[in-house]
Chain A
């Protein structure tokens, strides 16, 4: 019988190879960043900020999942308040004043501003925006209408009246509320569900094209800041995963990154040491919240021992390559608020890493080391469970090191990593012993201290905690915080913060572990004017600072 014959194999092989070569040979990585045009005008900024999904092309400044790319670039605020140093830069407002015992705020509105559709901008738009937030509480993410009582036009200004003095809310009101055009939004049926695919705003760039894969912004020719922005295009491609985004930064295809890059020195800087830079300015602390209602965390010595027993430097090195600086027990973020910080007080209490002293504190509280190596009292081993989030791998690594540190000083520490939403639910209802979580940031130490210490925030009955998860209730603290919110006097504010610092050091209601940072990389081979450590004119990779940043960038 014959052997079955088939088409000559070599022919198929050749065809396959040929097809593959045609396909592969033509693929090139195209460079997107810094299109060369002579002079200081023009240039492209390509941003890598991985969101994990494709763009929705929804630009609603309140509700869109892509707000970080619309707020600042497109929509603007009344002022830009720099969280790094508290400086206020006039934007849609040119100035402000407090009156009536800090219960009235008058903000002068800039003249000559135009919306991107050509219509003039006016104080009526500001009033409309705030009224919209009043009628739709889903839009009032910062809870401004819990303190505001009214907003109205007065000539070329807008007057805000408060129920009671709330000076720190100026940050949210002037610096975090994006103004929308009245003439368009009155026609919107449901501003909460409105996707806003064709945004009309006042910002330095306008939306040129949006696809799920990429967003292109171009210079706003009628921008109110004369001569700015100089750059002509901003590209924001969508990435599903960090690797692809980081690779584009590394290869110089993108020149601006807001990415966490493992081992950034090797991965990013070394590929172009002259032009690849990174700067990670701190924001607010990540705290270990201690449930003060539970034994043994209600014992001061135990809390102090924990704070002293953790090697924060090592935790940072293990968890995030050391990118997050160790936090100070006084909850003052350094170097941002160095001039609020009472160095002498901090030194007096001295919460630096000291495992020996930590163990002595435990012994003074009556704990004795058992045969298993852990301290115990009345037959019960000193054991604590730390609640973390399984999905944040940096937290998992950090808490694993915290666990090791605590076990080394004789505390039987365990870590329980669960889903982010489950962890938050437990935090808000006090179902934890120790939990690791963020604190709120702002232009002064007040915001973090308020968020972690104010007595009105605690979990009570059916009301879940909106902060102060540890349940700290102290009248002195509340008095200080309330006093701060009523004064605009800088010297008084500093004094109050020092008082709060003392409470943090004396009573250890929460334990700041590491300072959260803004991850920011930039490539100045073609575009310059970036914010840097020596020139921190904005907090990079943060709304609305990202918009203001564009007005400083220009081609080499």
Chain B
């Protein structure tokens, strides 16, 4: 589904920074990105719109999303910005409230998959040997197993399972992509002087990993998280659309399921399909733009150069 590969074969040249906390590292990275990259800023702003919408849903949405109070299948009007569903619910209110579950799945699913990916990738790279070999093979196996069929089968096991089943499915099928990206970078950092000196100092492996290794991979981890979050949102929406989520949940994916189920496109409610889908698309675009920006920071060679007058751009 998402063959966007962040040039993982090219391991960026990373200059190890002084011992700094991971949190500061991330914040510094984010700050750098925002200051210099227009695409990232655009992505972030778009993301903020959705987050604000989700947080302030009770205020923004004019009606309760589930209330079947109105005339069904109405077109857009002043009272109902996007019209009503076939059950007589306000589409706009549903859209706003539904953003909560979609964002949560993206956040939690993405986070969980990233944590697992980092865990496996770093462990594999740092400890080497048989651990590395085993974990690498496991990673490759999970990478190759076709994600959608696996997801469908697992989701069907808990039909109507809802939020946590979706998160579990996303983690199981999505972690391997990130792990495969972490490993080479962790490997290249492993043998650097600053790590050797930390080992000589007698620090424990976990200390080294947490405080020396990870802070130097923040941009990659951030990129992986954004990729995983994107995957989570799209995968969850896809599964819910097919009907394998809990149809009583309220998310953009289930809105699409009901719209398709009630043949919205053919019975005069195209907005019921267009609106949640467009939101998913925009959310995806926001995350992708942000990711793109992070990628460019990590690998300066990728930044778009601007043509200067009178001089031909090139190597």
A-side interface residues toward B, CB under 8 Å? 242-243, 246-247, 262-263, 266-267, 318, 321, 390-391, 393, 396-397, 400-401, 404, 415-419, 422
Contacts and interface: CB of A to CB of B under 8 A. Distances in A.
Interface in B236-276: 243, 246-248, 257-258, 261-263, 266-268
A243 B263 contact: yes
Contacts of A400: 66, 248
A416 B247 CA distance: 10
B160 interface: yes
B263 A391 contact: no
A390 B243 contact: yes
B267 A415 contact: no
B68 to A, nearest CB: 6
Contact of A246 (B68, B243, B247, B263): B263
A280 to B, nearest CB: 17
A415 B86 contact: no
A266 B263 contact: no
Given A393-B258, A393-B261, A419-B160, A401 B248 contact: no
Nearest to A242: B263
B247 A262 contact: no
A263 B267 contact: yes
Interface string B124-168: 000000000000000000000000000000001001100000000
Contact of A391 (B73, B159, B267): B159
Contacts of A416: 160
A266 B87 contact: no
A419 B263 contact: no
B88 interface: yes
15 contacts: A262-B86, A262-B267, A263-B73, A263-B267, A266-B268, A321-B86, A390-B243, A390-B247, A391-B243, A393-B247, A396-B248, A415-B248, A417-B247, A418-B159, A422-B159
A243 B267 CA distance: 11
Interface in B264-296: 266-268
A318 B68 contact: yes
A401 B68 contact: yes
Contacts of B258: 393
A417 B248 contact: yes
Nearest to A267: B267
Given A262-B262, A415-B248, A397 B87 contact: yes
Contacts of B262: 262-263
Interface string B222-247: 00000000000000000000010011
Contacts of A419: 156, 159-160
Interface of B: 66, 68, 73, 86-88, 156, 159-160, 243, 246-248, 257-258, 261-263, 266-268
A318 B247 CA distance: 15
Closest 7 CB pairs of A and B: A390-B160, A419-B159, A417-B160, A396-B247, A390-B159, A263-B267, A393-B261
Contact of A417 (B246, B257, B261, B268): B246
A468 B217 CA distance: 63
Chain B: interface secondary structure?
loop
B53 to A, nearest CB: 24
B66, B246, B258, B268 — most chain A CB neighbours (10 Å) = B246
A63 B73 CA distance: 42
B264 to A, nearest CB: 9
A417 B263 CA distance: 22
Contact of B266 (A243, A393, A396): A243
A417 B161 CA distance: 8
B213 to A, nearest CB: 44
Contacts of B156: 419
A288 B61 CA distance: 34
A365 to B, nearest CB: 29
Given A243-B263, A393-B247, A318 B160 contact: no
Contacts of B68: 318, 401, 404
A417 B240 CA distance: 14
A43 to B, nearest CB: 29
Contacts of A263: 73, 86, 262-263, 267
Nearest to B264: A262
Contact of A267 (B88, B159, B246, B266): B266
Nearest to A243: B263
A417 B261 CA distance: 16
Contacts of A422: 159
B292 to A, nearest CB: 27
A242 B257 CA distance: 14
Given A267-B266, A419-B159, 7 more contacts: A242-B263, A262-B86, A318-B87, A390-B247, A393-B257, A393-B261, A397-B87
Nearest to B267: A263
Contacts of A247: 266
A393 B261 CA distance: 8
B115 to A, nearest CB: 30
Contacts of A415: 248
B147 to A, nearest CB: 21
A318 B267 contact: no
Nearest to B314: A1
Contacts of A391: 159, 243
A196 B88 CA distance: 48
Contacts of A267: 263, 266-267
B277 to A, nearest CB: 17
Contacts of A390: 159-160, 243, 246-247
B91 to A, nearest CB: 16
Nearest to B157: A419
Nearest to A394: B261
Nearest to A250: B266
B45 to A, nearest CB: 36
A416 B248 CA distance: 9
Nearest to B87: A318
B86 A418 contact: no
A397 B257 CA distance: 12
Given A393-B258, A396-B248, A266 B159 contact: no
Contacts of B160: 390, 416-419
Nearest to A417: B160
B227 to A, nearest CB: 30
Contacts of B261: 393
Contact of B263 (A262, A397, A401, A418): A262
A262 B258 CA distance: 12
Nearest to B89: A318
B67 to A, nearest CB: 9
Nearest to B67: A404
Nearest to A401: B68
Contacts of B88: 318
Contacts of A262: 86, 262-263, 267
B255 to A, nearest CB: 13
Contacts of A404: 66, 68
Contacts of B73: 263
Contacts of B257: 393
A247 B73 CA distance: 19
Contacts of B247: 390, 393, 396, 417
B46 to A, nearest CB: 32
Contacts of B86: 262-263, 321
Contacts of B263: 242-243, 246, 262-263, 267
A116 B246 CA distance: 50
Nearest to B258: A393
Contacts of A396: 247-248
B73, B159, B257 — most chain A CB neighbours (10 Å) = B159
A318 B87 CA distance: 5
A262 B85 CA distance: 12
A404 B88 CA distance: 14
